[in-house]
Amino acid sequence: MATAAPLQAPDDALRGAGLRATRQRLTVLESLRERNDSVTAQDLHMELRQAGEPVGLTTVYRTLTSLAEAGFLDTFNRDGEQAFRLCGNTHHHHLVCETCNKVEEIGADEVERWVTKIAARHGYQVTGHRADIFGICAGCSG
Whether residue 4 is predicted with pLDDT greater than 50 in this model: the reply is: no
DSSP 67: H
Residue 44 burial class via C-beta count within 10 angstroms: exposed 0-12, middle 13-18, buried 19 and up: buried
Q: What integer pLDDT is reported at residue 129 of this predicted model?
A: 83
Whether residue 103 is predicted with pLDDT greater than 60 in this model: the reply is: yes
Q: What integer pLDDT is reported at residue 7 of this predicted model?
A: 59
> What CATH code is assigned to 10-86?
1.10.10.10
Tens-digit pLDDT profile for residues 6-19: 456 788 888 888 88
For the chain, the domains span 10-86, 93-141
Tens-digit pLDDT profile for residues 92-102: 788 888 898 88
Tens-digit pLDDT profile for residues 15-52: 888 889 988 889 998 899 888 788 999 999 999 999 99
Strands 132-135 and 93-97, by their bridges, are parallel
**Other CB atoms closer than 10 Å to residue 111's CB: what's the count?**
17
> What CATH code is assigned to 93-141?
3.30.1490.190
Whether residue 75 is predicted with pLDDT greater than 60 in this model: the reply is: yes
